[in-house]
Amino acid sequence: MVVFLVLFAFVTVLGFYASRWRKSAVANIDEWALAGRQFGTFITWFLLGGDLYTAYTFIAVPALAFGAGALAFYAVPYTIVVYPFVFVVLPRFWSVAKAKGYVTAADFVKGRFQSRGLALAVAISGILATLPYIALQMVGMKTILQALGFGGDIPIIVAFAILAAYTYLNGLRAPAMVAVVKDILIYATIIGALIIIPGHLGGFGHIFQAANVKLHAAAKPGSVLLSPKLYTAYATLALGSAVALFFYPHAMTGVLASKSRDTVRKNAAFLPLYSLMLGGIALLGFMALAAHINVNGNNNLAVPLLFLKEFSPWFVGVAFAAILIGALVPASVMAIAASNLFTRNIYREYFVPHASENQQAGIAKFISLLVMLAALIFVVGIPVQFSLYLQTLGGVWILQTVPMIVGGIYTRWFHRTGLLIGWLVGMVLGTWMEYSVGFTTSFFALSPGIVGYAGIWALIANGIVVAILSLILHAAKVSNGVDETTVSDYQEEATSA
């Protein structure tokens, strides 16, 4: 408890101290939301790592391995597949955003296609996907607090108030500073777990054997090896998750805060180190099975209870602090990203078109508080399962923005009307697929032998609609708007990171 509280107090002080780091006027939207786009390779690596590999990842991936077995390991290939994609695509996006002062992906879509409708579609998708994602970070935080013996909702409210305060005051600089500490603690915890726990349990051979026996004996049998009937589901889930990952608003925010396109490329090369760590995190689920952890129906408790059983008390404090801080960093960036979308693409676009940079920063700060309050209400007042349902939908929804963003980065051939209708088709179809399976899974069966990720099926339908309508609309010579970007905007180089 002492170790945990000391580390939490340290990162709290660090979050508030962030205002003195590279001090500037955070009253400006570019400074508050993107830290002046001045993060180099080192800080960007920690920020994106802290942003993408969250507390809920630390809790949910092992929980899935604990309950279902090999399917949980889809998280490893998807976080490998994504980085070549990032290396190729996102430096171009960074360049045009820097050249034109874009703060969100919706800003880019509007400028590229002269379409407020497309910008609103991206903003709505991003905000809807982000809110339950923040709530699930708090689920991870609440799980750790419960394992420590903190009952009731007061501790989670206090932690949230601290998070909201330093995010409001310091913007993106606060989670960037905290991310350095968080990632060091996470690496220490995983390396410690991979050394200590197998030694206690008789080695990895025994862990896999014992986990397989437990999984086969479960009410819903699983295995440490993937069943052939799950190959398509596994592959499409990994592919869809990879494509969606960096189009979440919080990931985009981390990319746009980089100081050069070279920084983005370097991080695409270095971030797979986190994928190695993620493989270790997934193995914790098998370790919990081999250690005979009893979760009483709540698989999210597998990792906390495993640590309590296998670690020395002081190291439990380090591990639990790592997970809790792992909720603070992404929750803060997510709140900033959602508030950016609302401020830039709803408030400024539809209510106060001539809002100054300082006015936008003020609104964004206020909205970040509302976003975090909404997430807190999810955690305190709404069953966790509802947040899970919405998060399942979040990935499906984010995928439907890919044609307009990635397509726009490379070409204007896709017609803005076709893109908007394709997005709507993908949103409706993806939501219907999830509804038809009761939101209990991300998979939808097109036929008894073809089961795959609902987001991929919806994205394919989206793409088909966009392609057909673009052909028709171009043939009919329907205007595709005026592009405010130029070829050089996508090639602009900044000072190397």
Q: What confidence tier does 156 reach under pLDDT thresholds 50, 70, 90?
A: confident
Please, what is the end-to-end C-alpha distance for the chain in angstroms? 40
Whether pLDDT at 264 is above 90: yes
Q: What residues does 443 pair with on adjacent strands?
A: 453
The pTM of this model reads 0.92
User: pLDDT of 383-419, one tens digit each?
Assistant: 666 656 677 788 999 999 999 999 999 999 999 999 9
Residue 451 has pLDDT above 70, yes or no: yes
pLDDT-derived band at 89, boundaries 50, 70, 90: very high
**Residue 41, both tokens:** 């390779």
What is the Cα–Cα distance from 114 to 336, expressed in whole angstroms? Answer: 25
Q: What is the maximum span of the chain, computed from C-alpha positions, in angstroms?
A: 71
CA distance 210 to 207: 5
Q: List pLDDT tens digits, range 173-217.
A: 999 999 999 999 999 999 999 999 999 999 999 999 999 999 999
Cα–Cα distance measured from residue 446 to residue 451, given in angstroms and rounded to the nearest whole number: 6
Buried b (16+ CB within 10 A) or exposed e, 271-304: beebbebbbbbbbbbbbbbbbebebeeebbbbbb
Average pLDDT over residues 302-325: 94
27-31, 104-108, 385-389: which is most confident: 104-108
Residue 494: pLDDT band (50, 70, 90) is: very low
pLDDT of residue 495: 42
Cβ(167)–Cβ(32) under 8 Å? no
| Cα 325 to Cα 335: distance, rounded to the nearest angstrom | 15
pLDDT classification of 138: cutoffs 50, 70, 90: confident
Q: Output the pLDDT for position 154.
A: 85
Structure tokens at 414: 């896709």
pLDDT of residue 252: 96
| 129, amino acid identity | A
What pLDDT band is residue 27 in, cutting at 50, 70 and 90?
low
Q: How far apart are CA 44 and CA 52, in angstroms?
A: 12
Rounded CA separation 430/35 (Å): 35
pLDDT computed for residue 496 by the predictor: 39
Q: Where are the domains of the chain?
A: 2-384
Q: Look at residue 378 in the predicted model and tell me its pLDDT.
A: 76
Q: How far is CA 475 from CA 112, 413, 472, in A?
A: 20, 12, 5
pLDDT, mean over the chain? 91
Res. 279 pLDDT band, cuts 50 70 90? very high
Beta carbons of 170 and 16 less than 8 angstroms apart: yes
Is 2.30.29.30 the CATH number for 2-384? no
Taking alpha carbons only, the member of 127, 59, 60, 153 closest to residue 376 is 153
Indicate the SS3 state at residue 27: coil
Q: For the chain, give me the number of helices (H) and strands (E)? A: 22, 2
